[in-house]
């Protein structure tokens, strides 16, 4: 069994994306891991930096919800990361590929090489021969320091900052296709993140602005004349597949807006999925995994499956790790997948 630096529990994964702070911690269970604690703490304002009062509230909530320790791994906000696919010399050339990758990524996005932290990884061998393809991710030091500053003096110890794309892919490891290509769509407040994964390696990432849940919520608020909380209740309990007969009228009222939202996603996904097949012609796209807040909309996965003509399923922590009955509602929440992946960040 893997131990996280000799500890009997993982770090606490803290995901700041969207309208809530989400946290998860794992504990040993047989030969694997179990969801030991989980938390969803709503935020007053989704589009603002984390405030000191929110950090203090988070620390108290972690204590009350059974989290152990104070060491956390935090996801860098998506808008503070830059990514890119890089064409590098062959590994056999002996060239310093890591240094070249950092330089190429800085040139691609126009930032000072010394002002950011960057990582890269080789991509699986594709149809393009004679080069090494790599995926690079970078965060400017100023942006990283702003995230860290929010936790200064809070009693919570930030052990690492992680990229959300890495956390989501890591968490989804147990349900990725072993041979084919898996698409992962993370539906969140400010946008959707599409990942393409082959041989357990992310080789494509795109932010899909059409997938921003806030656009769907705004449309429903204006169309129905209700507040944001009412819309989120309708999306969670009714969606396109109402869980109770008395919700049928509500489903009829909100279905057009949800269908329009999903149609925009389908249009945005077709080109990247075609790219995946061209990049790895011997590997078919095995399916699409939905994670994030929007993945919990009843009927959304079935609707996308019909329109994309491929296997689509929503994924929650219960599909990835074991969990006690007491945490069953949170274990079924797709919005906690990224937090689970952050908790799986291991000591290097």
Is the pLDDT score of 251 beyond 60?
yes
Q: What digits encode the pLDDT tens for the residues 114-136? A: 999 999 999 998 766 667 899 99
User: pLDDT value at position 47?
Assistant: 76
Instruction: Look at the alpha carbons of 262, 268, 269, 274 in this order and tell me if their dihedral is positive or negative.
Output: positive
d(CA 181, CA 226): 41
Section 176-197 average pLDDT: 96
* Beta strand pairing call for 116-122 and 32-42: unpaired
When pLDDT is cut at 50, 70 and 90, the band that residue 207 belongs to is very high
> Which pLDDT does position 3 carry in this prediction?
47
Band (189; pLDDT cuts 50, 70, 90)? very high
- Range 207-230 average pLDDT: 94
Better-predicted residue by pLDDT, 46 or 85: 85
CB burial of 16-39 (b: ≥16 within 10 Å; e: otherwise) equals bbbbbbbbbbbbbeeeebbbbbbb
Average pLDDT for the chain: 92
Confidence at residue 29, expressed as pLDDT on a 0 to 100 scale: 86
User: What backbone torsions phi and psi does residue 268 show, to the nearest 5 degrees?
Assistant: -75, -25
Tell me the pLDDT band of 292, cut-offs 50, 70 and 90.
very high
Q: Is residue 139's pLDDT more than 90?
A: yes
Q: Is the pLDDT of residue 2 over 60?
A: no
Whether pLDDT at 4 is above 70: no
What pLDDT does residue 32 have? Answer: 82
Burial 172-211 (b: 16+ CB within 10 A, else e): beeebbeebbbbbbbbbbbbbbbbbbbbeebbbbbbbeeb
pTM, two decimal places: 0.94
Residue 259 pLDDT > 90: yes
Query: Of 89-98, 187-196, 210-219, which range is least confident?
Result: 89-98
Strand 71-76 to strand 12-15: parallel, antiparallel, or no bridges (unpaired)?
Answer: parallel
Residue of 348 and 70 predicted with greater confidence: 70
- Across the range 251-279, mean pLDDT stands at 94
pLDDT at 126: 75
Task: Calculate mean pLDDT across residues 263-291.
Answer: 93
Q: Are the beta carbons of 58 and 144 closer than 8 angstroms? A: no
- What mean pLDDT comes out for the span 286-291? 98
Q: Tell me the per-residue pLDDT of 82-114, one tens digit each, with 9 for 90 and over.
A: 999 999 998 888 889 999 999 999 999 999 999
Does residue 277 or residue 149 have the better pLDDT?
A: 149
Q: Going by C-beta distance under 8 Å and a sequence separation of 6 or more, which residues neighbour residue 126? A: 133, 203, 279, 280
Given a cut of 90, whether residue 1 has pLDDT beyond it is no
Average pLDDT rounded to a whole number, residues 321-330: 93
- Write out pLDDT tens, residues 152-167: 999 999 999 999 999 9
Look at residues 7, 16, 5, 6 and name the one whose alpha carbon lies nearest to residue 68.
Answer: 7
pLDDT on residue 59? 97
pLDDT of residue 282: 86
pLDDT for position 202? 97
Question: What is the spatial order of strands in the sheet that 20-29 belongs to?
Answer: 32-42, 20-29, 12-15, 71-76, 157-163
Give residue 129's pLDDT.
Answer: 66
Q: At residue 33, what are phi and psi to the nearest 5 degrees?
A: -130, 150
């Amino acid at each position: 069994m893997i131990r996280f630096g000799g500890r009997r529990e993982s770090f606490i994964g803290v995901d700041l994306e969207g309208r809530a702070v989400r946290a998860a911690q794992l504990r040993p269970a047989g030969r694997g891991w179990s969801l030991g604690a989980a938390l969803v703490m709503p935020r007053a304002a989704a589009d603002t930096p984390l405030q000191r009062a929110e950090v203090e509230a988070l620390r108290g909530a972690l204590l009350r919800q059974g989290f152990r320790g104070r060491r956390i791994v935090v996801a860098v906000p998506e808008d503070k990361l830059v990514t890119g696919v890089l064409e590098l010399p062959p590994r056999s050339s002996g060239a310093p590929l890591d240094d070249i990758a950092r330089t190429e990524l800085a040139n691609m996005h126009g930032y000072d090489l010394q002002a950011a932290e960057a990582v890269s990884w080789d991509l699986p061998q594709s149809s393009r021969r004679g080069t090494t393809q790599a995926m690079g991710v970078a965060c400017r030091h100023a942006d990283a320091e702003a995230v860290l500053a929010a936790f200064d003096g809070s009693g919570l110890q930030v052990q690492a900052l992680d990229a959300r794309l890495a956390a989501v892919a890591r968490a989804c490891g147990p349900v990725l296709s072993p041979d084919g290509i898996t698409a992962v769509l993370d539906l969140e407040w400010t946008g959707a993140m599409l990942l393409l994964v082959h041989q357990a390696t992310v080789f494509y990432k795109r932010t899909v602005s059409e997938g921003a849940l806030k656009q769907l919520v705004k449309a429903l608020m204006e169309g129905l004349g209700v507040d944001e909380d009412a819309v989120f209740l309708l999306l969670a309990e009714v969606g396109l597949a109402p869980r109770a007969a008395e919700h049928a009228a509500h489903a009829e009222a909100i279905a057009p807006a949800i269908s329009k939202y999903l149609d925009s996603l389908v249009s945005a996904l077709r080109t990247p999925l075609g790219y995946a097949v061209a990049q790895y012609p011997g590997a078919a796209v095995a399916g699409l995994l939905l994670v994030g807040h929007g993945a919990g909309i009843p009927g959304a996965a079935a609707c996308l499956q019909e329109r994309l003509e491929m296997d689509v399923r929503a994924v929650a922590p219960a599909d990835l790790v074991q969990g006690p009955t007491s945490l069953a509602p949170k274990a079924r929440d797709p919005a906690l997948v990224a937090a689970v992946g952050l908790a799986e960040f291991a000591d290097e």
